């Protein structure tokens, strides 16, 4: 049995150690906010926090997260930071089809937690591992910029 | 049908090495390459043909320290950990910032990048020009291998199944040196290189004391030639056009890239030689 913390709750699974965290989240824990895009670590749609660090859940064998603290998009939805990001993405028009957005929000949150007032270049670097095929990124960058101003340190 | 998978995760390095001594295992550090290499359908765990040993939680593999002026880097340090560590040289940090993207840098390890031995491995050209050595540990003891001897070809390394790369050692570099890393890919982040280049030069006054180059993704392993490098030692900068042309022509003979889904042989060679020429023009850095 593999035991870890998922969105604040201790969970365990008897899935094989090589199972991808992404599949476990979606299929066993029914947390379908985390998306699969490329499945190769290039698109960031499956981004989660592992011990507060942004990582691609499609590349994580669950045997390597024993005892770790995992947070998904569902786990951060109640935070002030999420609320500000949510609002800012709406105002800036940062969401079109929406598929990349859970990953984008995770990357945005990771960036703002580490660097509450990023420059445009730092914002682009922060989301450089996330692909969006609709927006052309400018509205997402604007959304993060707006969130940084509104959140002011969150 | 559920296939049985054997996986180990020991709390200590010595227990891990004992297991490797008993059984030929696949070692997983960050997993960023292994999980892609053995990827199967959605919802189906990757099929890894050997028992698995997880090592990325072992604190013994995350130390960074100086010993006799050489820099020792634990094999399971992630790129992000290296970026935060005050002992890592700035040149290496600047290069690491251009590799992957935050999420992969939080997971991928230096040791993993080496043992994956991809012809396009991002850290490899740099480690070659640093003359990096690897510490391999087994239950029988330690041995040290130059990275250029360790990597034998695509995904082929000179590691016995009971051994593990535990440290990467960057030998002490005298005086002021300049290190340059260039990577050409389809995208700035998360791209596999079409061509990569690392250059290292140490100059006193106007004289070249030491110069090294390594090219990635243009052959089965990194392309480096100590014979060609020697031709430039003792020359003064700026280099004469004829000297630059001679070095470029020498690499033109030994760089033999291939066509694949990422790029063409012709493109790779042209770009590799341009990067070399640009480095030799010494415009990328300001000598003192």
ipTM reported for the complex, 2 dp: 0.96
Check residue B284 and give its pLDDT.
Answer: 63
Q: State both tokens at B200.
A: 């290292």
Q: Do residues A52 and A100 both lie within one domain?
A: no
Report CA-CA distances (Å) from B80 to B58, B150, B166.
17, 25, 18
- Chain A residues with CB under 8 Å of B103 CB are 41, 44, 47, 54-56, 107, 129
Of B114, B106, B154, the closest CA to residue B134 belongs to B114
pLDDT over 60 (residue B287): no
The residue of chain A nearest to residue B192, with distances taken between CA atoms, is: A42
Same domain, A10 and A66: yes
A95 & A147 share domain: yes
> How does pLDDT run across B120-143, given as a tens digit for each residue?
999 999 999 999 999 999 999 999
Which of A144-153, B198-207, B275-284 is predicted with the least confidence, judged by mean pLDDT?
A: B275-284
Strand partners, A49: A54, A71
CB A88 within 8 A of CB A109: no
> In angstroms, rounded to a whole number, what is the distance separating the alpha carbons of residues B65 and B72?
5
Supply the pLDDT for residue B286: 54
Instruction: Tell me whether strands B195-204 and B207-216 are parallel, antiparallel or unpaired.
Output: antiparallel
B264: left (phi over 0), alpha (psi -120 to 50) or beta: beta
Return the CATH number at A120.
1.10.150.120
Q: Which residues of A touch B2 (CB under 8 A)?
A: 16
Q: How far apart are CA B90 and CA B251, in angstroms?
A: 28
Tell whether the model's pLDDT for residue B288 goes beyond 50: no
- What is the C-alpha separation between B27 and A96, in angstroms, rounded? 41
Based on the fold, state whether residues A68 and A117 are members of the same structural domain. Answer: no
Kindly report the average pLDDT of chain B as a whole number.
94
d(CA A85, CA A78): 12
Q: How far is CA A129 from the centre of its chain?
A: 11
**Residue A23, SS3 per DSSP:** helix
Given a cut of 90, whether residue B42 has pLDDT beyond it is: yes
Secondary structure (DSSP) of B157-224: E---TT-EEEEEEE----S-EEEEEEEE-SSSSS---SEEEEEEEEEETTEEEEEEEEEESSSSS-B-
Q: Answer yes or no: do A26 and A61 share one domain.
A: yes
In a shared domain, residues A120 and A93: yes
DSSP string, A58-95: GG-BGGG-TT-EEE-HHHHTTSHHHHHHHHHHHHHT--
The C-alpha of A48 sits at a distance from chain B's nearest C-alpha, in angstroms, of 9
Report the C-alpha gap between B110 and B25 in whole angstroms: 20
For residue B182, the distance in angstroms to the closest alpha carbon of chain A comes to 17
Q: Please indicate, yes or no, whether residues A67 and A87 belong to a single structural domain of this protein.
A: no
Domains of chain B: 7-170 (3.30.465.10), 178-280 (3.30.390.50)
Whether A62 and A95 share a structural domain: no
Q: Is A147 helix (H, G, I), strand (E, B) or coil?
A: helix
Tell me: do A43 and A97 sit in the same domain: no
A99 is in which domain, residue-wise? 80-151
**How many Å apart are CA A38 and CA A46, to the nearest integer?**
9
Question: Considering A46, A74, A102, which residue would you say is the last residue of a domain?
Answer: A74
Q: Are residues A93 and A34 in the same domain?
A: no
User: At A31, which CATH number?
Assistant: 3.10.20.30
**How far apart, in whole angstroms, are the C-alpha atoms of residue A90 and residue A82?**
12
Task: Per-residue pLDDT tens, chain A, 154 aa: give them.
Answer: 999 999 999 999 999 999 999 999 999 999 999 999 999 999 999 999 999 999 999 999 999 999 999 999 999 999 999 999 999 999 999 999 999 999 999 999 999 999 999 999 999 999 999 999 999 999 999 999 999 999 987 7
Q: Which of B 187-226 lie inside 8 A of A, CB atoms?
A: 188-190
Which of A17, A21, A27, A28 to mutate to probe the B interface, most B CBs <10 Å? A17
Chain B hits for A126, CB-CB cut-off 8 Å, are 102
Q: Is A40 on the interface with B (CB under 8 A)?
A: yes
Nearest CB to B103; choose among A27, A56, A63:
A56
B279: nearest Cα among B211, B199, B217? B199
Q: Which whole number is the average pLDDT over B88-117?
A: 95
Determine the distance in angstroms separating the CA of A64 from the nearest CA of chain B, rounded to an integer: 6
CA angle at B10 for the pair B167 and B66, rounded to the nearest 5°: 20
- How large is the angle between the packed helices A138-151 and A80-92, nearest 10 degrees? 140
pLDDT above 50: residue B119:
yes
User: Do A90 and A39 belong together in one domain?
Assistant: no
Q: What value does the mean pLDDT take over residues B221-233?
A: 97
CA distance B95 to chain A (A): 14
Find the helix packing angle between B241-254 and B265-280, rounded to 10°.
150
B175-214 per-residue burial string, b: 16 or more CB within 10 A, e: under 16? eebbbbbbbbbeeebbbbbbbbbbbbbbbeeeebebbbbb
Tally of structural domains, chain A:
2
Same domain, A34 and A85: no
* Contact check, Cβ <8 Å, A126/B102: yes
- Examine the pLDDT at B37 and tell me if it is beyond 90: yes
Residues pairing with B183 in the sheet? B196
Cα nearest neighbour of B7 on chain A: A17
Q: Which of A24, A39, A74 is the last residue of a domain?
A: A74
Exposed e or buried b for every residue in B252-262, given b needs 16+ CB within 10 A? eeebebeeeeb
Helix or strand run (H / E) with residue B53: strand B52-54
**Number of residues written out for chain B:** 288
For residue A125, the chain B residues in CB contact (below 8 A) are 102
pLDDT at B2: 59
Q: Last residue of a domain, which of A59, A74, A89?
A: A74
Higher pLDDT, A30 or B238: A30
**Cis ω for the linkage preceding B134 (within 30 of 0):** no
């Amino acid at each position: 049995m593999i035991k870890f913390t998922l969105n604040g709750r201790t969970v365990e699974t008897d899935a094989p150690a090589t199972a991808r965290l992404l599949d476990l989240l979606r299929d066993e824990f029914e947390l379908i906010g985390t998306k699969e895009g490329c499945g190769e670590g290039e698109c960031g749609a499956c981004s989660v926090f592992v011990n507060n660090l942004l990582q691609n859940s499609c590349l994580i064998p669950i045997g390597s997260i024993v005892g770790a603290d995992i947070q998904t998009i569902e786990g951060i939805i109640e935070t002030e930071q999420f609320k500000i990001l949510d609002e800012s993405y709406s105002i800036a028009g940062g969401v079109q089809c929406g598929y990349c957005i859970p990953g984008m929000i995770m990357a945005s949150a990771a960036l703002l937690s580490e660097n509450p007032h990023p420059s445009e270049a730092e914002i682009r670097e922060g989301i450089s591992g996330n692909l969006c095929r609709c927006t052309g990124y400018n509205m997402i960058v604007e959304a993060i910029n707006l969130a940084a101003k509104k959140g002011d340190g969150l | 049908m559920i296939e049985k998978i054997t996986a180990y995760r020991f709390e200590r390095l010595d227990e891990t090495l004992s297991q490797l001594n008993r059984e030929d295992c696949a070692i997983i550090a960050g997993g960023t390459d292994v999980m892609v290499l053995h990827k199967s359908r959605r919802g189906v765990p990757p099929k890894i043909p050997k028992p698995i040993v997880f090592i990325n939680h072992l604190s013994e593999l995350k130390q960074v320290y100086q010993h006799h002026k050489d820099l020792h880097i634990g094999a399971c340090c992630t790129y992000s950990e290296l970026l935060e560590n005050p002992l890592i040289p700035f040149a290496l940090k600047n290069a690491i910032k251009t590799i992957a993207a935050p999420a992969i840098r939080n997971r991928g390890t230096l040791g993993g990048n080496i043992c994956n031995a991809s012809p396009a491995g991002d850290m490899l050209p740099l480690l070659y020009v640093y003359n990096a050595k690897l510490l391999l540990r087994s239950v029988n003891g330690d041995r040290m291998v130059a990275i250029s001897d360790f990597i034998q070809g695509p995904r082929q390394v000179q590691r016995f199944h009971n051994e593990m790369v535990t440290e990467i050692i960057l030998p002490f570099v005298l005086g002021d040196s300049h290190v340059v890393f260039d990577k050409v890919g389809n995208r700035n982040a998360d791209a596999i290189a079409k061509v990569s280049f690392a250059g290292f030069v140490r100059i006193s006054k106007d004289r070249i004391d030491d110069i090294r180059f390594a090219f990635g993704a243009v052959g089965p392993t990194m392309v480096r030639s100590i014979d060609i490098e020697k031709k430039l030692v003792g020359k003064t900068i700026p280099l004469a056009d004829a000297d630059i042309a001679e070095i470029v022509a020498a690499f033109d003979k030994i760089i033999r890239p291939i066509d694949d889904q990422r790029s063409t042989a012709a493109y790779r060679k042209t770009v590799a030689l341009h990067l070399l020429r640009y480095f030799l023009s010494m415009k990328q850095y300001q000598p003192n």
